[in-house]
Amino acid sequence: MTARTLRYAPHVAVFAVGYVTFTYSAVPGYVAARYGATITTVGFLMSAALLSFVLAQAVADRLASRWTTTQALLGLLGAHAALAVALDFAPSLESLLVLRALWGLAGGLLLSIGATHVARLYDGRAATRQQGVYGGMLTLGGAFGFLLAEPVVSLTGGFGVHALGAPLALPAIAMLWPHRRGTRTAGTAASGGFRTVLANRVVLVAALCYVATIGAYITLSTFITAYFDDLGVTGPLNAAVLATATAGRALGGTVSARWGVSDARIVSVTTLLGALAFVGLLVDARVVALVGPLVAMIAVSLPFGAVYNLAAAATAQETAALALVVAAGNVAAVALPTFTGVVRANTGGYAAVFCVLAALLLAASLAARQTR
């Protein structure tokens, strides 16, 4: 049982990260009303967190080399919990932005250190499966946030929108605590920093694939409500999209473990499917317009675990490799939604965005094919 708690703790931890990352997005009206901000300004809260996700990766390798990932996760979960509570007491939009940025440092490190923890405890196909489940728990936390945010605001007036991320982290802390002095999650190589992994072609391919898949995922997540609004379709679409992504990430890892499909093949085939789905969205047909985004979301979610394991297995510097992948993906996650907003404002549609995403996914597919 204790071995299982060590193995599954990062999955529980990243669920809490997913909750805090996305929950405020479900109640932009509440945030705007409380701080006297515009809905557009509220969007900066996501950018603040994602930019910090990128910056945090600069110290991830050093952190996981100095301490075991178990010890690092315990410290980061404590910071996450404290900042999650502090976020709900922010007196102004400016202080909220600062706190979101500070929380993003903890959240970004939890994401990459948690993935390193998984990489150190699993090998081969089992690692791919667990990385997929790990990614699925991140999006499941986001879906939980979208479903829970409005009831929380109705019940408490707003407290808990972020602060619930603290009690959600407690099970992970309890699971890790008995192992805090153990060495099973210690690194086997000295810190080599980004300089080492930047020379590794497989890691760079994994980073490109993550840019393509996470860029597509974040763009779909951000604009899915507006997209379906234009088609006259309403409902809890953000939660539905995140649930779809959760299922896709978990399924992708299971395919590898059960049928022995290599990481490179999974990435190559699924990113090609994603590219075709976005090209299909250029066709003026309502059925395609309705089904296409869901097909695309599943396609870009399936390779999550394979991309992480592709990077981690390519070098002894697994933390630096995963940090590089996470950093590159989150740069795309900041840039692509902004680009999409500009395109939609100037053209009234998404055709140019679909072309860019299709091109990125096709490039990722071809690059992954070369590593097989």
What does the H/E/C string look like for 53-75? HHHHHHHHHHHHHHCCHHHHHHH
Q: Is there a contact between 207 and 364 (Cβ–Cβ < 8 Å)?
A: no
The pTM assigned to this predicted structure is: 0.91
Q: How far apart are CA 312 and CA 300, in angstroms?
A: 19
CA atoms of 49 and 25, how far apart (whole Å):
12
Per CATH, is 2-370 categorized as 3.40.50.970?
Answer: no
Distance (Å) of CA 62 to CA 57, 230, 329: 10, 47, 20
Write the burial class of residue 147 (CB in 10 Å: 0-12 exposed, 13-18 middle, 19+ buried): middle
Q: How far is CA 135 from the centre of its chain?
A: 7
Give the closest residue to 244 by CA, choosing from 167, 172, 139: 139
Residue 109: closest CA among 217, 6, 15, 17:
17
In the chain, where the domains are located: 2-370
CB 233 within 8 A of CB 290: yes
Amino acid at 229: D
**Do the Cβ atoms of 131 and 79 come closer than 8 Å?**
no
pLDDT along the chain (372 residues), means of 10: 86 97 84 80 82 93 92 98 97 94 97 95 91 94 90 92 97 96 81 77 96 93 82 80 89 79 93 97 90 93 94 91 94 90 88 96 96 76
